[in-house]
Structure 1
Amino acid sequence: MPKPKITFIGAGSTVFAKNLMGDILSFPELSESTLVLYDINPERLKTSEVVAHRLAQSLGARPQIIATTDREAALEGAHYAINMVQVGGYKPATVLDFEIPKKYGLRQTIADTLGIGGIMRALRTIPVLLEMARDMERLCPEVLHLNYVNPMAMNTWALLKATRIKTVGLCHSVQGTAEQLARDIGVPVEEINYLCAGINHMAFYLKFERGGEDLYPRIWEYLESGQSPQRLVEGAPLADKVRYEMFRRLGYFVTESSEHFSEYTPYFIKRDRPDLIEKFGIPLDEYIRRCEVQIAGWEHLRAELEHSTQPLPVHRSHEYGSLIIHSQETGTPRVVYGNVLNHGLIDNLPHGCCVEVPCLVDKNGIQPTRIGSLPPHLAALMRTNINVQELTVEAVLTGKREHVYHAAMLDPHTAAELDLEQIWNLVDELLAAHGDWIPEPLRSREAVVRS
């Protein structure tokens, strides 16, 4: 069978690239693929190239490995493109997304999916992804673009609406939360059958069962047992009380973590309610802390990855990327959860929005599953997030700055904390601080009428 060319965009994200490359090369049918590593940072790219060779040696694989800072060369003739870029980086962009809202009393935890931080990340990221997709239309028009970049729903929505490139958005929250719930209730995850649907980071398990037995009563028992829900995130314990509280109120369990979910709703982060922060264990500025830890440990990690004489251990991750590539190359049918446009998939979510649903993958590509209608209260909650996603995508695609204000006005957490004048002033300050990271039409205030 022909050997696919798999391009990693943002391959300087070494740890994530390592996991995906290890997954791919673990399949004998993919072990001689061409892996093209592309990044704008030559230093980090070099580390990823070394890691790729070490992985191949550990697995006995024989891929062709190419590292380049030339995007066109990386994309030319690619069969698959795996995207993992972070536009603007930790500094200045992510720091601005946290520090400027703080001046207005608006606190965040992760700020990469929704909220004012998610909006700003989308404004600087979508234009770059669109440029890449235009390159793909010229250089590899049949490529399958696997997008891991957040904000997932906004990015994937814009790519699928504005380009001809086949794109699917991939996350690990569905399978990751299923594994967590399995641990919580003491049932092996491989014995569980589940059906999940919604939007990225706000999908819910409509079915969670083993051998025909509904396992939701066990989750209720776990909640009522009085055990404090705990899990590990990068070695640090974090309470998972927000999600269990939402489960108590909604009757269904959501896919994304408590630290994420707390900023998608207006219920948990309130500047005049520190008791809520303590009660639900909400880690304000969590993403900032994670970035600082990663930056502090990078030199040590790089030395270990580049110079260690020990075999590089390879453990299959739960990411879907390699499974999709293997299924398309071999015809092996699999079900994964992908982010796609809502064309007749979920009846009570807006047509054309970005939804996360089970998808069959084989040689015919990504084939989304029709869900029908979600429970009405779940769909209503999702629509509060979809409003923000839609207006942010519209702002980028039309260049209308006023839709940035509108997106922030409709964001559940932002609207619960700030009045309209504060929201507009915050948007103005963030757009000005981002400078050239934001496309020119959105930097201009001339077309926006204000009293």
Structure 2
Amino acid sequence: MPKITFIGAGSTVFARNLMGDILSFPELSESTLVLYDINAERLKTSEIVAHKLAESLGAKPRIIATTDRVQALEGADYAINMIQVAGYKPGTVLDFEIPKKYGLRQTIADTLGIGGIMRGLRTIPVLLEMSHEMERLCPDVLHLNYVNPMAMNTWALLKATRTKTVGLCHSVQGTAEQLAQDIEVPIEEINYLCAGINHMAFYLRFERNGEDLYPKIRAFLESGKTAYRGHGGGVQLADKVRYEMFRRLGYFVTESSEHFSEYTPYFIKRDRPDLIERFGIPLDEYIRRCEEQIAGWEHLREELEQNTHPLPVHRSHEYGSLIIHSQETGTPRVVYGNVLNHGLIENLPEGCCVEVPCLVDKNGIQPTRIGSLPPQLAALMQTNINVQSLVVEAVLTGKREHVYHAAMLDPHTAAELDLDQIWSLVDELLAAHGDWIPEPLRSKPVMRS
């Protein structure tokens, strides 16, 4: 039975979903689950949850909880990564509050934009360190990376280490399910082909039994029903941004409207509050979600730890357990993974990180060649790839000037700030991050006149 290590297992809700998915497969029910986290208190909760899940499913895994990373990784067959470097405080708060002083507002700030850039700068070095440990402690491990900024992290890991890594997200299958609800077609009857970059992949085909379903999606757009989409906690978020981009581009994007509004220069403008209102853009949305989660954590912990009833298990739509099951049993499946672009998408840069369908079986992760994307989609993706590539370059070379370059080329940042403001913002953010940023990037470059 495989040894499956959860890195950042104190992310209890996410770990719970993945553990439940894994243990629900009879072939994986006696796996060794190693839960690793630097937060012993949260780790304890996840360990209790693991035992309760096993009890609910009648599974008999070996469960180990440890704050020792070497012990967690040694001999692992699979490593599932879900860390958040610098946490909500100081990390996320800095990413929102300092840009706000410059009039630069964000929604999620974990994938692109100035917030995504900073998250990448503090996260990539930690992931590289872990990956180099995997090279030594578990050289054959498959590293399943769920950590954002997905494209930047996965690109750096695959470029700079020998560890087999695939980046996993739920935006492709999650958005497909949302679209199925919008057009009232059962998701089980839909097949689709999707490709691009993480959070900016597009459905090239969306069909039922050979019938193109895009006309139904257009009809839904014209019906005016795109105003609201439910979110956890009873909050209603507008989904107008994605439908507006569908109207303009002809293809539907995978990531949510609140995310997508900050990947482009069109929607969040400090001198256009009417756009914020018209498209229902929830500024500071990730801050709200984090504070809601923190406020509910104690209640959640008590519920998980003290509830004597079996924990209900509902299979999630995450790919992690499917990949492990397919590699262990040979059952072929198609998942969407983030991998390097070696001839997969012809009109995106060679070697960048792309999200494409991948066949998984005992041969591992096998990406599908797509060919060329519609040119307008590739051009829009390129604006995001520019930023991703410069952040990766900054970390791998230690050249701080590339952090400024990444911010200069970020679509949303460049639409709001001039060059002096961008330079000043980067300086202030790097200074505020302190030791969370590696030493070479903390030294200011000499400006050439």
Q: TM-score, normalised by structure 2?
A: 0.99
**How far did 1:227 drift?**
1.8
CA deviations 1:220-248 (Å, max 9, x no partner) are: 01111122342222131101000000000
| Alpha-carbon displacement from aligned partner over 1:340-380 (angstroms, at most 9, x marks no partner) | 00000000000000000000000000000000000000000
User: Is 1:428 aligned with 2:423?
Assistant: no
User: How far is the alpha carbon of 1:450 from its aligned partner?
Assistant: 5.1
Which amino acid letter does the alignment assign opposite residue 165 of structure 1?
A: T
The percentage of counterpart residues that share the same residue type is 88
Q: Give the 5 Å matches for 1:41-440.
A: 41-235=39-233, 236-440=235-439
**1:184-211 deviations in whole A, cap 9, x for unaligned?**
0000001000000000000000000000
Q: In the alignment, what sits opposite 1:18?
A: 16
Letter of the 1:111 partner, please give it: A
In 2, Cα distance between equivalents of 1:97 and 1:256: 20
2:366 partner SS:
strand
Alignment partners' CA distance in 1, 2:73 and 2:162: 15
CA distance in 2, matches of 1:231, 1:107: 22
Deviating 4+ runs (over 2 angstroms): none
Distance 1:93 1:178 in 2: 31
Alignment deviations for residues 378-433 of structure 1 (CA, whole Å, 9 cap, x no partner): 00000000000000000000000000000000000000000000000000000000
What one-letter code is carried by the residue in structure 1 that aligns with 2:218?
A: W
The answer to whether the 8 A contact 1:9-1:37 is kept is: yes
- Rounded Cα–Cα distance in structure 2 between residues aligned with 1:228 and 1:345: 33
8 Å Cα contact 2:407-2:414 kept in structure 1? yes
Residue 310 of structure 1: how far off its partner (Å): 1.2
Measured in 1, the distance between the counterparts of 2:224 and 2:114 equals: 35
Q: Within 5 Å, give how 1:21-36 maps onto structure 2.
A: 21-36=19-34
**Counterparts of 2:255 and 2:51, CA distance in 1:** 34
Paired residue type of 1:96: L
Q: For residues 150 and 390 of structure 1, what CA distance do their matches in structure 2 show?
A: 15
Q: Distance in 2 between matches of 1:106 and 1:286?
A: 14
Q: CA RMSD in A?
A: 0.6
- Residue 63 of structure 2: SS of its match in structure 1? strand
In structure 2, list runs of 5 or more residues that go unmatched. none
The TM-score normalised by the length of structure 1 is: 0.99
Task: Write the letter of the residue equivalent to 1:245.
Answer: E
Is the 1:198–1:357 contact (alpha carbons within 8 Å) kept by the matching residues of 2?
yes
One-letter code of the match for 2:13?
A: V
Distance 1:197 1:29 in 2: 31
Between the aligned partners of 2:448 and 2:111, the Cα distance in structure 1 is 28
2:226 is paired with a residue whose SS is: coil
Report Cα offsets for 1:244-291 as digits up to 9, x if no partner. Answer: 000000000000000000000000000000000000000000000000
Partners in 1 of 2:222 and 2:168 — Cα distance?
33
Distance in 2 separating the partners of 1:372 and 1:229? 35
Q: Displacement of 1:165 after TM fit?
A: 0.3
State the number of aligned residues: 448
Distance in 2 of aligned mates of 1:356 and 1:58? 35
Question: What letter matches 1:89 in structure 2?
Answer: G
- Measured in 2, the distance between the counterparts of 1:102 and 1:414 equals 11
Q: Structure 1 unaligned segments of length 5 or more: list them.
A: none
Contact 1:109/1:259 (CA < 8 Å) preserved in 2?
Answer: yes
Question: CA offsets, 1:61-113, max 9 Å, x none?
Answer: 00000000000000000000000000000001100000000000000000000
- Contact 1:47 1:302 (8 Å CA) reproduced: yes
CA contact (8 A) 1:327 1:334 kept: yes
Q: Secondary structure at the match of 1:228?
A: helix
Q: Decide whether the 8 Å contact of 1:402 with 1:448 is kept in 2.
A: no
Secondary structure at the counterpart of residue 47 of structure 2: helix
